[in-house]
Amino acid sequence: MAPTYTQLFAAACALATTAHAVTPIEVQGKDFVNSKTGDRFQILGVDYQPGGSSGFSTTQDPLTDADACLRDAALMQGLGVNTIRVYNLSPDVDHSKCASIFNGAGIYMVLDVNSPLSGGSLDRTDPQGTYNAVYFEQVFGIIEAFKNFPNTLGFFAGNEVINEQSVYEAPAYVRAVVRDMKDYIAANANRSIPVGYSAADVRPILVDTLDYFMCNMENSTTSRADFFGLNSYSWCGDSTYVESGYNTLVEDFSNASLPVFFSEFGCNAVMPREFTEVAALYSDKMDSVFSGGLVYEWTEEANDYGLVAINSTDVATLLTDFKNLEKQYSKLDMTSVESSNSSQTSKEPVTCATSLISTTTFLNSWDLPTVPSKVADWIKSGYTNATVGSLVAVSATTIPQTIYDYNGNKVSSVKYKVLASDESNTPNNSTSIDSSTSNGTTSSTSSSSSSSASSGSSSSSSSSSTSAAAGLSTSVMGLLTSATLFVAFLL
Ligand SMILES: *[C@@H]1O[C@H](CO)[C@@H](O)[C@H](O)[C@H]1NC(C)=O
Ligand SMILES: *[C@@H]1O[C@H](CO)[C@@H](O)[C@H](O)[C@H]1NC(C)=O
Ligand SMILES: *[C@@H]1O[C@H](CO)[C@@H](O)[C@H](O)[C@H]1NC(C)=O
Ligand SMILES: *[C@@H]1O[C@H](CO)[C@@H](O)[C@H](O)[C@H]1NC(C)=O
Ligand SMILES: *[C@@H]1O[C@H](CO)[C@@H](O)[C@H](O)[C@H]1NC(C)=O
Ligand SMILES: *[C@@H]1O[C@H](CO)[C@@H](O)[C@H](O)[C@H]1NC(C)=O
Ligand SMILES: *[C@@H]1O[C@H](CO)[C@@H](O)[C@H](O)[C@H]1NC(C)=O
Ligand SMILES: *[C@@H]1O[C@H](CO)[C@@H](O)[C@H](O)[C@H]1NC(C)=O
Ligand SMILES: *[C@@H]1O[C@H](CO)[C@@H](O)[C@H](O)[C@H]1NC(C)=O
């Protein structure tokens, strides 16, 4: 009996997903580590929120438009990025295509679980009133949506919740959210996905905030954060390690027992940005304390931090900052960036104690709120009202949009390349997006597309990002024409 399209589609997916998947990253001591090779993983990242806050609704977020994701993943491959951070996500929509596109490109995702909609986050002025089941529909919905992707690097339990406006008890509530998320993942996901917090650069309480989240509580071990992000814009223009205050940050975080990274960096007080902080961040001055960082931000929005301008759905322009960042990345010594260090990976946390906290206005006890009963039920049995994502095959190699560089030259042959399993994206001079400054000359990027990409990859714009299966065995491919593959993906 002839197999149905659905059966063929399922078979194609299974093959393709096992063929191309990044290796999950885990936390060891104060480093991120590749769980297979043991190599260190440092974040070479960008913050990804096309459209800013208006790019988000319950039906649309930065990881729902596959054509846009394909364009951005292809451009990020050329830039040398290995991680994106996405702030606002909806648990009600499917993210499988975009997450799979970034996975195929060797790009990890750090995902905020909160949303700007009502009930979608802890209120820093009323954490007690907002730590409830309604909030956890958002939190657990996002975990369900992304738990199955190997390129989910981690989840942020909160972003800049604790600041000058937050109430005294706020840290205990955020730490409780970390606990509940980690307990949920332990019971309902099949790998241990790290959970952390992203802090504002409020220097007077920075060390207290770090200590509050990273210390170990014997009576609640899962409430300890797995990593710590810092949003910091203190290096402006062609600054220095000392002038920027980076030396102070290194001192402040010198005792850290978890991975610390910039969850946002890239001051724009001096334009264009040269990104000279990149050389400092990944150098031996900083790399025992920082695991890299994410540049704010991918797209040009009203606040003027973009690397890329999205002119329309069909046209995008690489801005000067893109070129400058690419140049800085290409100077990195990736062997050093990826080298593991046993004194780093064996770092142990200290035990929580009142003496760790030095600011009188900062909470110095760890009496965490008890889990609301409905939330406890979901931790035990799973939250089922969610759109669970899973890897789908991606074989597109050409992107449908037209790309210009900052001189107005068309950048041709931007390629999306499915990397081999276990590979993550790295800066690579020979695949960088290279455009000439003279007009009329187009430039080239990476040479050829993935060898195993199927013929289902289409040059027509509507299907290119969603079609077909890379890595299909030839026997399965023999059964499938590109037309049937295309039809299958539309179902
Ligand atoms: C974990 O789940 C993913 C997605 O469902 C699956 O591909 C993978 O094989 C599972 N791993 C284990 C160890 O069960
Ligand atoms: C680091 O730990 C040492 C020893 O416990 C302590 O004296 C020092 O104040 C700590 N520094 C920071 C910035 O936490
Ligand atoms: C796209 O937008 C950017 C930023 O506004 C602008 O500099 C660029 O010229 C535009 N490109 C095209 C092709 O319209
Ligand atoms: C890129 O080229 C520069 C200069 O030739 C070299 O120093 C650097 O190591 C290269 N970077 C990568 C990632 O290959
Ligand atoms: C390993 O890390 C420690 C700090 O954690 C640092 O002092 C040491 O220099 C590092 N070793 C190498 C070879 O980088
Ligand atoms: C758990 O331990 C922390 C300090 O390590 C303490 O502040 C808290 O009161 C303890 N909680 C319970 C329920 O014993
Ligand atoms: C399930 O999710 C949908 C969509 O988010 C929502 O409209 C509905 O109220 C939820 N149902 C329950 C029982 O929570
Ligand atoms: C390059 O050519 C385009 C289209 O002809 C034009 O708009 C742009 O201004 C030119 N750029 C430079 C640097 O001459
Ligand atoms: C850089 O890209 C070229 C072309 O795709 C590839 O042959 C080479 O192995 C890559 N080098 C590194 C260090 O990844």
Sequential pLDDT tens for the chain (491 residues):
443 333 333 434 444 444 489 999 999 999 999 999 999 999 999 999 999 888 899 999 999 999 999 999 999 999 999 999 999 999 999 999 999 999 999 999 999 999 999 999 999 999 999 999 999 999 999 999 999 999 999 999 999 999 999 999 999 999 999 999 999 999 999 999 999 999 999 999 999 999 999 999 999 999 999 999 999 999 999 999 999 999 999 999 999 999 999 999 999 999 999 999 999 999 999 999 999 999 999 999 999 999 999 999 999 999 999 999 999 999 999 999 999 999 999 999 999 999 999 999 999 999 999 999 999 999 999 999 999 999 999 988 899 999 999 999 999 879 999 999 899 999 987 777 765 433 444 333 333 332 222 222 222 222 222 222 222 232 333 233 232 222 223 22
Q: Report the candidate in 340, 278, 279, 420 with the shortest Cα–Cα distance to residue 38.
A: 340
Task: Exactly one of 160, 169, 274, 338 is catalytic; name it.
Answer: 160
C-beta of 425 in contact with ligand 9 (< 6 A): no
Task: Exactly one of 26, 137, 144, 264 is catalytic; name it.
Answer: 264
Nearest ligand by distance to the CA of 288: 5
Task: Give per-residue pLDDT as tens, 409-448.
Answer: 999 879 999 999 899 999 987 777 765 433 444 333 333 3
Atom of ligand 5 nearest to the CA of 30: 5
* Cα-based distances in Å from 113 to 5, 324, 391: 35, 31, 20
Atom of ligand 3 nearest to the CA of 300: 4
> Ligand 9 atom 6: the closest Cα is on which residue?
430
Atom of ligand 7 nearest to the CA of 92: 5
Q: Find the helix packing angle between 170-188 and 203-214, rounded to 10°.
A: 40
Q: Is 326 a catalytic residue?
A: no
Handedness of CA 470, 476, 482, 487 (dihedral sign): negative
Atom of ligand 4 nearest to the CA of 334: 13
Q: Ligand 9 mean position to 20 CA, how many Å?
A: 18
Nearest ligand by distance to the CA of 330: 4
C-beta of 376 in contact with ligand 3 (< 6 A): no
Task: Give per-residue pLDDT as tens, 320-354.
Answer: 999 999 999 999 999 999 999 999 999 999 999 99
> Best of 216, 219, 351 to mutate for ligand 6, by most ligand atoms within 8 A of CB?
219
pTM of the model: 0.85
C-beta of 222 in contact with ligand 2 (< 6 A): no
Q: What is the pLDDT of residue 277?
A: 98
Q: Is 348 a catalytic residue?
A: no
Atom of ligand 4 nearest to the CA of 331: 8
Nearest ligand by distance to the CA of 219: 6
Determine contact, residues 43/281, Cβ cutoff 8 Å.
Answer: no
> Best of 255, 358, 359 to mutate for ligand 2, by most ligand atoms within 8 A of CB?
255
φ/ψ of 91, rounded to 5, equals -75, -5
Distance CA 207, CA 215 (A): 12
Buried b (16+ CB within 10 A) or exposed e, 256-275: bbbbbbbbbbbbbeeeebbb
C-beta of 367 in contact with ligand 6 (< 6 A): yes
C-beta of 58 in contact with ligand 7 (< 6 A): no
> Ligand 9 atom 10: the closest Cα is on which residue?
428
Q: Ligand 1 mean position to 148 CA, how many Å?
A: 7
Distance CA 303, CA 320 (A): 16
C-beta of 207 in contact with ligand 2 (< 6 A): yes
Pocket of ligand 1 (CB under 6 A): 148, 190, 390
> Best of 148, 188, 390, 392 to mutate for ligand 1, by most ligand atoms within 8 A of CB?
148
> Ligand 2 atom 13: the closest Cα is on which residue?
252
Q: What is the pLDDT of residue 434?
A: 64
Determine contact, residues 138/115, Cβ cutoff 8 Å.
Answer: yes
Q: What is the pLDDT of residue 274?
A: 98
Q: Looking at the domain that runs over 25-416, which CATH code has it been given?
A: 3.20.20.80
Q: Ligand 7 mean position to 143 CA, how many Å?
A: 16
Q: Ligand 2 mean position to 336 CA, how many Å?
A: 27
Q: Ligand 2 mean position to 254 CA, how many Å?
A: 8
Q: What region, left, alpha or beta, does residue 276 occupy, with left being phi > 0 and alpha being psi -120 to 50 degrees?
A: alpha
Q: Ligand 7 mean position to 385 CA, how many Å?
A: 6
Q: What is the pLDDT of residue 238?
A: 96
Q: Ligand 3 mean position to 274 CA, how many Å?
A: 20
C-beta of 354 in contact with ligand 6 (< 6 A): no
- Starting at the earlier edge strand, list the strands of the sheet with 25-28: 25-28, 31-34, 40-41
